[in-house]
Structure 1
């Protein structure tokens, strides 16, 4: 079994739908039940990669061995690839200074560190404990005053942290491709990472999403339908998530294509590494665009 981490960096709003809700948001995004953090189900990731495999440079004859055949096939078997759920690492939060910061929390960092280690990508992160109402950060230019950081309408008592600096530099190097077009965002992530208390971060994970109103149009009149207003929730651009990818040997009968786990991982790495993947709904309106990066 081969394992690798897959970083997903949003370059557009992303709507990985979680079904209908009873609250004000008609079409919410997927969230973890125990943390409330946004996530993307592994089944959705696998389906998106399968759907875009040829467009990403893969070969048609590798689709069934890697992902499994379509239902109804006479050669049914499991695919060689498995995708875990993508969990939140950092979210963009509007800042009074610097435009926005990449907000995270000890819980999100610890889970990312664990996932990286399980995928044989160990990082030496010393994750700080952050009291409620406080923030540990790297860049003093983000501060409104000597000790105050303002995110949205909230003020946090700020502390410069060498531990966060080390985490931010390693995270930026791992999460984004080493390409000049990503230099600005890689540098910003390495400088503008802010670690909040788990509880404070949960507030932004719930309330700092992109909420879009939609109006259903009556095809006969070309005007808004009565009761046709609905709201859709999206993960904001510049969000960062991480998911595990696992590869085994191919199953079933595919002629001369019995592929070992190393070959399978090499194939998925080749199509996903530093490329753009569309995930979730509203594809025709430019939603769901994620930069994929598999370090190592």
Structure 2
């Protein structure tokens, strides 16, 4: 039984490849996506593994059993007891898209915001978010938006009518509360659900990779593949549900103790996904445990 929850905000500082494995498609190594929406995610099991490894490194001077109390024992001893936390999938909240004006936009949509509102409620928050209705040919932006070209917002090759609304500032405020990086309200645009789906499907980064033959110094035959990345400046969030530990170790006896232990991640940088040795996967974290965080 889970007693508490925290929100974990993740802001991509570099492109992130949380891979789903090889597929028979143009992209050999695609990123993880929801099956029914196509939205990018980072699976909870992937995120939990990264957090576990990072916690072990940050607490190398403490009893290693703290890690087992929070995250559960290693696989070979998983039958002994469960961990005290349940790590949810990291869902996309803001997706960066090229803009004719203002360089790039943070794009979101009503469906993403509705989910965000529900997840905040699940975590015990009382969000005051009024999710707007958006037509297919418009983008809701702030009064001081840096994206406007006269009265238009041009994202990639999509031209939308700029609808300036004051209420968007409340939405941006709720988003900023979970973001480890200050969000420029002038860059935020709320678009129609279908437009958002197309953008997160068609405008991720796709990179060609090759393997060099050490003997010849040229590309090894057959060693060309394509990888997909979540772009830098993507904002995601995850709900981490917390229960009472199954065992009491080093003062970790209540759900509140686990919340305090997880706060070690606040403001930290982690590497998520593959290609760590080529500088990919850096994200900054923020832990939000109550409305005043």
The verdict on a shared fold, with TM-score over 0.5 as the criterion, is yes
- One of 254, 264, 268 as aligned partner of 1:260: 254
Provide the residue aligned with 1:250 in structure 2.
245
Counting only pairs closer than 5 Å after superposition, residues 275-294 of structure 1 correspond to structure 2 as 275-294=268-287
Q: How does 1:1-150 map to 2 (within 5 A)?
A: 1-57=3-59, 59=62, 60-73=64-77, 76-138=80-142, 139-145=144-150, 147-150=151-154
Matches within 5 A, 1:87-236: 87-138=91-142, 139-145=144-150, 147-172=151-176, 174-177=177-180, 182=181, 186-188=182-184, 190-236=185-231
* Residues matched between the structures, number: 284
Task: Give the aligned CA root-mean-square deviation in angstroms.
Answer: 1.8
Asked whether the 8 Å contact 1:168–1:191 carries over to 2, the reply is: no
- Contact map agreement 2:145 2:186 (CA 8 A) in 1: no
Retained in 1: the 8 A contact 2:14–2:283? yes
Instruction: Check 1:255–1:107 CA distance in 2 against 1; reply closer, same or farther (3 A cut).
Output: closer
Which shifted more, 220-229 or 76-85? 220-229
Q: TM-score, normalised by structure 1?
A: 0.90
Q: Does the CA contact (< 8 Å) of 1:137 and 1:159 recur in 2? A: yes
Over 3 Å counting, the alpha-carbon distance change for 1:94 and 1:255 in structure 2 is closer
Contact persistence 1:56–1:272 (CA under 8 A): no
Give the gaps of 5 or more residues in structure 1: none
Divergent runs of 4+, >4 A: 254-258
The two structures have a TM-score, normalised by structure 2, of 0.91
